[in-house]
Structure 1
Amino acid sequence: MAHGDITHIDIPVADLAKAAAFYSELFGWQIAEPPGFEGYPMWSAPNGISGGGLAPRSEGFTQPRSYVEVDSIDDTIAKAEAAGATVAMGKQPITAKSWWAVIVDPDGNHIGLFEGTTQD
């Protein structure tokens, strides 16, 4: 993936098991909780490229959220804020080699940012 690519989509759900069964049956998604990500079932579309996760619905997370890969979360946040965005969640680690954050664009849309690699 490269800077600007949509790399992941999270879907907020009330019941992880029920949602996993629904999306698996409806779209043929392979859904599993990878080691280290218990409680966060991740889905992979039949094309083997598209994917994301099923995450517990919470205040401020009520609609699906796309994540855009960026070269630098810090630089992207600075640029977004200069253009009128706000930060819903600052940079947080996912693994030793990857991070995420969430910005809110001037129209109120929550956009996830992803930096790093999922490869060892």
Structure 2
Amino acid sequence: MPHGDITHIDIPVSDLEAAKSFYSGLFGWQISAPPGFEDYPMWQAPNQVSGGGLAPRSEGFTQPRSYVEVDSIEEILAKVTESGGSVIMEKSPITDTSWWAIFADPDGNHVGLYEGTTEVG
């Protein structure tokens, strides 16, 4: 996906099995945990483009979070702070070829960043 595209949406859940049943029944999403990500079931919409994950709900993760694909997480995080936002989580690896980070905009909305390529399955 090109720089700036929304690439992924995480939905915080307290019961993974119940959430898988709920969302697959409601929207027809295909939901499965790829190898190496067994505790993180991924959903795929029928359009085969939209997708994301069902992630454990936590104190700092209570609302769905969109992830935007970027060419450079470091450059975007620098622009975030220059523009009045703040870094919630610095760049961290997902795999050997992909990374993520989280920032807050000036209104406090959390947005995820994604850089790289993740091969799952």
TM-score, L = length of structure 1: 0.98
The residue number in structure 2 matching 1:49 is 49
The residue number in structure 2 matching 1:33 is 33
Identity %: 71
In structure 1, runs of 5+ residues without a counterpart are: none
Cα distance in 2 for residues equivalent to 1:60 and 1:2: 28
- How much does 1:49 deviate? 0.7
In structure 2, runs of 5+ residues without a counterpart are: none
- Please identify runs of 4+ aligned residues in structure 1 that moved more than 2 A: none
- How much does 1:60 deviate? 1.1
Q: How many residue pairs get matched?
A: 120
Q: How big is each residue's C-alpha offset from its partner over 1:80-116, in whole Å with a ceiling of 9 and x where there is no partner?
A: 1100111111111001000000000000000000000
- How much does 1:118 deviate? 2.0
TM-score, L = length of structure 2: 0.97
The residue number in structure 2 matching 1:107 is 107
The residue type paired with residue 44 of structure 2 is S
- How much does 1:119 deviate? 4.0
Cα distance in 1 for residues equivalent to 2:43 and 2:66: 14
Q: Secondary structure at the match of 2:76?
A: helix
Root mean square deviation, CA, Å? 0.9
